[in-house]
Structure 1
Amino acid sequence: MPNIHYKPLTRLLTDILTAVSTPQDIANIVASSLVESSLRKVESHGILRISQYLNQVNEGWIIPSSRPSVVNQTPIMSIVDGKHGFGIYSLDCAIDISIENAKKNKFSIVGLTGSSHTGRIGWFAEKAATQDVITIIFGGGAHGSPDHMSVAPHAGIERVMATNPITMGFPVANYAPIIVDISTSMTSEGKIRSYKELGQKLPFEWILDKFGQPSRKADDFYDGGAILPFAGHKGYGLGIAAEFLTGILLGGAHELNWLVLALDSAAFVGRDQYDQESAKFVKNLKESSVAEGFTEIMVPGEPEEHASTQYKSQGIPLTDSSWQTITKISHEAGIFDLDKYLIFNEDFDP
């Protein structure tokens, strides 16, 4: 299977989504987020998620035409109801509100409820950071939704929490933004799914089987197992904090709730000093001595930035099975002429 340029691939996913009654603007944002994840080699949240989303549309879990609404708002606080629409679009709207309020008032806090799967959260933190806004984003809320519990507590074996991600984005002068994008569990369900689809064992014992034994078999997770918290009690504690800030503070979740804290990076010391200090800090990190076995020191978000640069020029590689999945989905959406989406052209207009 040849590599596919990201622009026609974005157009293909957009066309698939509009075929199931998704408005054009919503479809383009959802498609762009998924393709951007694949560009950055985060396949667990990349283009193959489109299959999950379409299944959820067919099941009524996602209402494709639904748009979020602000149900409560003050100058610095907003609560957004995703109304069971596409989670990527809902969180994108919440991020836009966060950026606007942070620029006006230096600080903003936005809660999102009624959301479906939101894709790679780093995508939203990057958007804010490019506009000089720092974000801290918490996800959680599955304690009241057993279908979305996947993580065992420290010293436990039953699923009682979600992966409860925490993402932070920081603008840095003369560098790409620093993006810390982690789950509070050893891995995400999406990564386990990726290994399962490839027929490969997990690289580490990220999970327990249904009997509470450590396992590297992806199937053991789907057969009643659970993901472990990362770093034992430390990840467990952070996961609990994320749950309090989302599921408990904001109320019951459709899938996960989200809390976005946003801060104008110039709020305290001013733009010039922030830019100088942030660039100096990152420069010192990258120019410090490299340990044996490594070639360079990178900062969070940098490996993904390198991958994006590479794939934008060389195309996104897809396995034959992945392309077969995309082809099947396309045909179900009434799209049969796929050759036009295989054109490798930087000037392609999606």
Structure 2
Amino acid sequence: MPRLYAPDRLTATLDAILRASGSSPEEAATVARNLVEADAKGHASHGVCQIAVYMTSLERGHLTANRHARILRDDAPFLVVDGGFGYGQVIAKEATELAIERARRGGACILALRHAHHIGRVGAYGEQCVAAGLVTVWFVNVVSRPLAAPQGGARPRLGTNPICVAVPGTPGHPPMVLDFATSAIAANKCRVAASKGVEVADGLLIDPDGLPTRDPAVMFREPTGAILPFGGHKGYGLALACEILAGALVAGLPALPENLRPGRVVNNALAFVLDPARVAETGWEALADAALDYMEGTPPAPGTDRVRIPGDPEREHAARAARDGIALDPDTEAALHRYGTAFGLDVPGLLGVEGAA
């Protein structure tokens, strides 16, 4: 059985590593909390495992600590923000705060976020908006080594380019937060599976010859395999939309070969944030409740217990993590000890190994 770690212990460990690597206390706290929250909500691919990516990016000069969102254009409803290749969790959080302020004031904000290092789980910014009572839609591109093949292609050409749609809670339901990669599986889920020595499901990956495979290790050998788009041409179309809207339009940085750097991960985003009261007919919440009730009232298919609304799995995962703790894959555990020890930290003490579940 894998060891389970208390979320607060993991947060403290990451916080200490980030501070030791040069982050301010505020930045370290923001990044650490975001990473652990991703694990807690069932998205380990965007969680604690990312610390190894971030430390490598720092070492290679692709990530700069203590950068903040810098406004390039503020002309309602448009807001253009540059991240200076700083920690994406800080940049995106600050940019979202700015967009929320403008949407509250003017009813809507079109946020163009460029040149942020990895922003992590995009749903975090959807949750930030719905906590303010606002609707949001995000298109994000990923400038890193290509991972996903276009529909009909045998080689990777795209990032996992996520999309997020978030709607505030209604009297009968919590917020709906839809957050998904346009690839059939997240790249780091392949890494986690490869670390554990387990196969992935059919229909997710192809090998370097374009043939179907269940071996996640094909993503980490040269030449690599590729992740397929989810839903065939539909997922491919959405991934390409992210590339054009967030990469080409917003940042002038689509994931073309000339823009790639070994060990660098950059996120750009085009986001829409709006006040539902400015566009909705009276009683939209009741209608939304009726639609959600109708979905949840669907008889479950064999092998399932019920129909869930986007955001439900994350809430369920978070409740279990708070109760039982969070499991890490072996590579991530090793990375925490490796980097922590290099900075002179007592990693077992920070993790509370003796008291772990």
TM-score under structure 1 length normalisation: 0.91
Aligned residues: 340
3-state SS of 2:95 partner:
helix
Is residue 162–residue 179 contact of structure 2 (8 Å, CA) maintained in 1?
Answer: yes
Specify the alignment match of 2:212 in structure 1.
Answer: 214
Q: 1:273 to 1:311 in 2, by over 3 A?
A: same
Q: Distance in 2 between matches of 1:337 and 1:228?
A: 38
Specify the alignment match of 1:289 in structure 2.
Answer: 299
5+ long unaligned stretches in structure 2: 255-264
Specify the alignment match of 2:175 in structure 1.
Answer: 177
CA displacement 1:318-347 (0-9 Å, x = unmatched): 4566433322221112212632542899xx
1:258 aligned to 2:269? yes
Shift of 1:65: 2.1
Q: 1:227 to 1:324 in 2, by over 3 A?
A: closer
Tell me the amino acid that sits aligned with residue 94 of structure 2: C
Q: Distance in 2 between matches of 1:343 and 1:132?
A: 40
Shift of 1:175: 2.5
Shift of 1:30: 0.8
Shift of 1:110: 0.7
Q: How does 1:185-224 map to 2 (within 5 A)?
A: 185-222=183-220, 223=222, 224=224
Shift of 1:261: 0.8
Q: Distance in 2 between matches of 1:159 and 1:38?
A: 27
CA displacement 1:159-203 (0-9 Å, x = unmatched): 222121111111122432111111111112111111111111122
3-state SS of 2:157 partner:
coil
5+ long unaligned stretches in structure 1: 346-350
Is residue 85–residue 266 contact of structure 2 (8 Å, CA) maintained in 1?
Answer: no
Is residue 151–residue 163 contact of structure 1 (8 Å, CA) maintained in 2?
Answer: yes
CA displacement 1:15-49 (0-9 Å, x = unmatched): 11011111111111111110001111211111121
TM-score under structure 2 length normalisation: 0.89
1:302 aligned to 2:312? yes
Is residue 13–residue 347 contact of structure 2 (8 Å, CA) maintained in 1?
Answer: no
Q: Distance in 1 between matches of 2:64 and 2:109?
A: 28
Is residue 3–residue 318 contact of structure 1 (8 Å, CA) maintained in 2?
Answer: yes
Q: Distance in 1 between matches of 2:203 and 2:342?
A: 37
Is residue 141–residue 248 contact of structure 1 (8 Å, CA) maintained in 2?
Answer: no
Tell me the amino acid that sits aligned with residue 216 of structure 1: R
Is residue 92–residue 124 contact of structure 1 (8 Å, CA) maintained in 2?
Answer: yes
Tell me the amino acid that sits aligned with residue 255 of structure 1: V
Q: How does 1:1-350 map to 2 (within 5 A)?
A: 2-140=3-141, 142=143, 147-173=144-170, 174-222=172-220, 223=222, 224-250=224-250, 251-252=252-253, 255-269=266-280, 273-318=283-328, 322-336=332-346, 338-342=348-352
Tell me the amino acid that sits aligned with residue 178 of structure 1: M
Specify the alignment match of 2:260 in structure 1.
Answer: none
Q: Distance in 2 between matches of 1:267 and 1:6?
A: 39
Tell me the amino acid that sits aligned with residue 248 of structure 1: A
Tell me the amino acid that sits aligned with residue 60 of structure 1: G
Tell me the amino acid that sits aligned with residue 100 of structure 1: E
